[in-house]
A and B are shown apart, each in its own frame.
Chain A
Amino acid sequence: LAKTTQPISMDSYEGQEVNITCSHNNIATNDYITWYQQFPSQGPRFIIQGYKTKVTNEVASLFIPADRKSSTLSLPRVSLSDTAVYYCLVGPNTGGFKTIFGAGTRLFVKA
């Protein structure tokens, strides 16, 4: 099972770009990388998913180097409402026992 390692917490200020890096050295060939966001007392919310190179949607960008042993979630111009826990998941799909949620990265956005 591919284990992920993320920073425990990060601080930022409103309007800044935030990059959260996740390490997954044992990623398998058929594994995808998925990021979720979770606010207190709410269920996680899907942000973005990718397999290689770069993926961008209206919320974030995901950068994956050629060796796929790490990935970086990029949040452009964060606001106070982006304060949340961000989880990096690696697995063949985004559900089931093969997909493990770690402790996540707690992002604090300050005014």
Chain B
Amino acid sequence: DAGVTQSPTHLIKTRGQQVTLRCSPKSGHDTVSWYQQALGQGPQFIFQYYEEEERQRGNFPDRFSGHQFPNYSSELNVNALLLGDSALYLCASSPRPDGLPYEQYFGPGTRLTVT
């Protein structure tokens, strides 16, 4: 049973460019959340997707957008990259977005470096 997978593992971009990160959820999970983790800090919630729609959003600008596909995989897009966007981007999946508490399964992350 494959866990959460993310691609690519590492990525180097130049300021002003655009980037797309990809995530495949754990088998049986239909909800995907994205987090940004700066060095030495805890993960910060970006947004959550369920049934191909953005359901919840954290305090991130519109430069951060996403998409969820019918197979539940998801993409995170960041436009007009800033140096401050350099971070580990984590994808987490879960069986449902709300209701009774559940545990999230995190992927290994994508390390984005903006130069």
Chain A positions within 8 Å of B, measured between CB atoms, are 32, 34, 41-46, 49, 51, 87, 92-97, 99-104
Instruction: With a 10 A CB-CB cut-off, give which of A41, A44, A102, A103 has the most chain B CB atoms.
Output: A44
Residue of B nearest to A89 (CB): B42
- Using C-beta atoms within 8 Å of the partner chain, give the interface range for chain B: 20 to 34
Partner of B101, one of A93, A103, A104: A93
Across the interface, which residues of B come within 8 angstroms of A100, CB to CB? 42, 45
- Tell me if B24 counts as interface (CB < 8 A to partner A): no
What is the CA–CA distance of A78 and B58 in the complex, to the nearest angstrom? 35
Q: Is the CB of A102 within 8 A of B103?
A: no
- Chain A contact residues: helix, strand, loop or mixed: loop
Across the interface, which residues of B come within 8 angstroms of A41, CB to CB? 88, 108-109, 111
- Tell me if B62 counts as interface (CB < 8 A to partner A): no
Instruction: With a 10 A CB-CB cut-off, give which of B44, B90, B102, B111 has the most chain A CB atoms.
Output: B102
CB B100 to nearest CB in A, in angstroms, measures: 8
